[in-house]
Structure 1
Amino acid sequence: MFTRKLIWLQCITWIFFFLFLLLYSVQKWETVYLAVTSCGIGVGSYIICVYTNALWLMPKYWRRNRKTEFFIYSILFLLPLIFLRMALEYYLLFPYHPQQGFYKFSLAQFLFSTITISLAFFLGAILNILDDYFHLQRKQESMQLQQAAAELNLLKAQVQPHFLFNTLNNIYYLAYTKSDLAATVIARLSSIMRYFVDEAPKEKVPLSTEISFLKNYIELEQIRMLHAATLSFDHEGVDEMVRIPPMLLIPLVENIYKHGVDKSVPENEICINLKMENGKLNFNTRNTVHPVEKAGGSGVGLDNLRKRLQLLFGNDFTLTSEQDGNHYKVALIFPV
């Protein structure tokens, strides 16, 4: 019922409560033994009362809407406990304090025991309610995590058919033009498919795997262009053993070829830069745009990317884009 953390917290609370009573009791009794006995009887009765209500009466009767039975069994439990405490105090403490008469089954002893044990009983009910609240909160957090993981997997899965659709268009184009490069493209596609099967389902993959994936994709797109773009892909000095979530970088590169460059003209320039600074990965792209083409175009790929980044990093990421003359720039920064 209780988590390990909550159990330890309760144990510490009971220990401090016992020590607090003991500090008071040593002023009242002639010996430490009598003070410990007095505190032990009181605290022991409170512990029995709290957890009998929290672990048995509340869950079995109150929670199941059997309130009449709850009150009956509560009375049948509390009265014997009160008289058991009074009896223990009479036999173990009264012989050492006969002049007071407090522990000789007096009305004052009965009222004191009833009030304090009733308060402990009420505390047990509160403890049960708090545990139920924390259990519900943990369940909701677990459901939210499962929902986020499911959404993350869905977004990741959506990238694959979207990407494959574009790649198959490339192969169709080469086959239609009877290009000798069709076989090369199919080989590259085979490597990419292997990536989808072996790496994409993982939570994180080495950065080197993502770089190879990007290079395969770029080569496919370069082949498809009538005039291959002037390309620069700089990733020098990057620790390629760093692990990152898969398929976070490809949407930006795909966006270049889908919405940025004009595949029919020779004047195309693409610059891709990958570096690490202060524990964060910086991925920057820069490409020429033409009046007949859209400057950026967010599309499915970039929409999914932003959603994935939010699920993975919350607000601890940056994704910006801007057009500078006839160049379009995108910057992605996230922790690694």
Structure 2
Amino acid sequence: MSFNTKKALGHILFWVAIFLFYIFSVTSFELFEQSIETTLFKLPLLIIAAYTFNYWQIPIYLKQKKYIAFGVSMIFVIAVLTLLFRLIGYYHLDKYCADGPYPLISLEDFPFHMLSFHFPALIMYFYKTNKEQELEKEKVFQLEKEKIATELKYLKAQLNPHFLFNTLNNLYSYVITKSPKAPDMILQLSEILDYILYKSQRISVPIIEEIHAIENYIALEQIKYEERLKVIFKKDIIDQQQKTTPLLLLSIIENAFKHGVRDNITKPEIRIVLEQFDSHIEFSVWNTKTDNQYNNKTDENKSGIGLANIQRQLDLIYPGKHNLEIDESNAFFNLKLTLKIN
């Protein structure tokens, strides 16, 4: 069923409901026949009042703040409808009038007719206004959703590009020297690229896929730094299919490698602990850092784009459901993230 057909059907059902309301609003069965005939004559006038009010007077005058024109148009429409109803009553409803024929002009019951003719119009107006507000909210929601999705794609795309270049350079050297490490390196890099380019486009992924990407990332970095780098990765996962945002945890680890394995750090070390509980996930990443005498208090580890990126993703995806704690000294930097999952 098309939108226009559904809309037309909705209008028909509305007027059927109004008709039934009017004919069954009588207080005694004896007046039922009169109520049906009166409503049949009055219904076209109610329809005219409703559509002129909602599709002419409201949008053209009231919403444009032409209050005088709106008031004049209301008086004019009500006067015309009242006159038409008087004519109908004068020629067709005279038999129901015990006090003589319907008068063609009567100002005494003008306020009654004003409310009477515009009762369905007001119902339609409030329904129409509520529907428009709902559509506007939905539009704003969709625009915000698209904006967030676009921003998240941009943030995900910021995973350090020099990691890929360095890995490819290392791979090239291993291939040239026919190192036995080359096949594993190709497989790990292939899996990371598949995760970053394709799987990360989903809204969420099973946590086991994020863990697998982390393990591949660590393996590639350890090939690069060999025995100079010490990495400890502990994990305690209850449900491997628990959904999580792709690249979020990996971005934190990438940030730790970026700042914790520099050439002027004698013994670089990174410790990663991932624990899953019934209601939340705790993710802690500890890394060595350059002493503050070489790297002042504006340490990029804390204030750089990497951590700002992570914080922004958390604000967008887990509003009110995350806690990010940072602890650092001259020798180390520790980040602890708690995510509510239920």
Task: Give TM-score scaled by structure 1 length.
Answer: 0.72
Alpha-carbon distance in 2 for matches of 1:148, 1:241? 25
Q: 2:240 — aligned with what?
A: 240
Q: 1:188 — aligned with what?
A: 188
In structure 2, the CA distance between the partners of 1:279 and 1:87, relative to structure 1 (3 Å rule), is farther
Q: 1:147 — aligned with what?
A: 147
Q: 1:26 — aligned with what?
A: 27
Instruction: Give 1:168 deviation, angstroms.
Output: 1.6
Say whether 1:323 aligns with 2:324. Answer: no
Residue 306 of structure 2: which of 295, 301, 309 is its match? 301
Q: 1:107 — aligned with what?
A: 106
Alpha-carbon distance in 1 for matches of 2:17, 2:120? 19
SS in 2 for 1:270: strand
Alpha-carbon distance in 2 for matches of 1:205, 1:35? 64
In structure 2, the CA distance between the partners of 1:121 and 1:70, relative to structure 1 (3 Å rule), is farther
Say whether 1:334 aligns with 2:323. Answer: no
- The question of whether the paired residues in 2 share the 8 Å contact of 1:82 and 1:117 is answered with no
Read off the aligned partner of 1:50 and give its amino acid letter. Answer: A
CA deviation profile, 1:95-151 (whole Å, cap 9, x unmatched): 34413x585545157624542257559846777666655554543333232222222
Greater mean alpha carbon deviation, residues 87-96 or residues 46-55:
87-96
Say whether 1:172 aligns with 2:169. Answer: yes
Read off the aligned partner of 2:301 and give its amino acid letter. Answer: G
Structure 1 gaps of 5+ residues are none
Between the two proteins, what is the percent identity of the paired residues?
A: 23
Q: 1:54 — aligned with what?
A: 54
Instruction: Give 1:334 deviation, angstroms.
Output: 2.7
Instruction: Give 1:259 deviation, angstroms.
Output: 1.0
- The question of whether the paired residues in 2 share the 8 Å contact of 1:317 and 1:332 is answered with yes
Alpha-carbon distance in 2 for matches of 1:302, 1:322? 13
In structure 2, the CA distance between the partners of 1:138 and 1:41, relative to structure 1 (3 Å rule), is farther
In structure 2, the CA distance between the partners of 1:158 and 1:230, relative to structure 1 (3 Å rule), is closer
Instruction: Give 1:260 deviation, angstroms.
Output: 2.1
1:209-228 matches, cutoff 5 A: 209-228=209-228
Read off the aligned partner of 2:279 and give its amino acid letter. Answer: G
Read off the aligned partner of 1:272 and give its amino acid letter. Answer: I
- The question of whether the paired residues in 2 share the 8 Å contact of 1:259 and 1:297 is answered with no
In structure 2, the CA distance between the partners of 1:158 and 1:287, relative to structure 1 (3 Å rule), is closer
SS in 2 for 1:115: helix
Read off the aligned partner of 1:197 and give its amino acid letter. Answer: L
Greater mean alpha carbon deviation, residues 125-134 or residues 165-174:
125-134
SS in 2 for 1:329: strand
In structure 2, the CA distance between the partners of 1:168 and 1:234, relative to structure 1 (3 Å rule), is same
Instruction: Give 1:157 deviation, angstroms.
Output: 2.2
- The question of whether the paired residues in 2 share the 8 Å contact of 1:260 and 1:290 is answered with yes
SS in 1 for 2:202: coil
- The question of whether the paired residues in 2 share the 8 Å contact of 1:231 and 1:270 is answered with yes
Read off the aligned partner of 2:218 and give its amino acid letter. Answer: I
CA deviation profile, 1:265-288 (whole Å, cap 9, x unmatched): 674443222223343332221233
Instruction: Give 1:199 deviation, angstroms.
Output: 0.5
- The question of whether the paired residues in 1 share the 8 Å contact of 2:228 and 2:267 is answered with no
Instruction: Give 1:82 deviation, angstroms.
Output: 2.9
How many residues align structurally? 324
In structure 2, the CA distance between the partners of 1:40 and 1:324, relative to structure 1 (3 Å rule), is farther
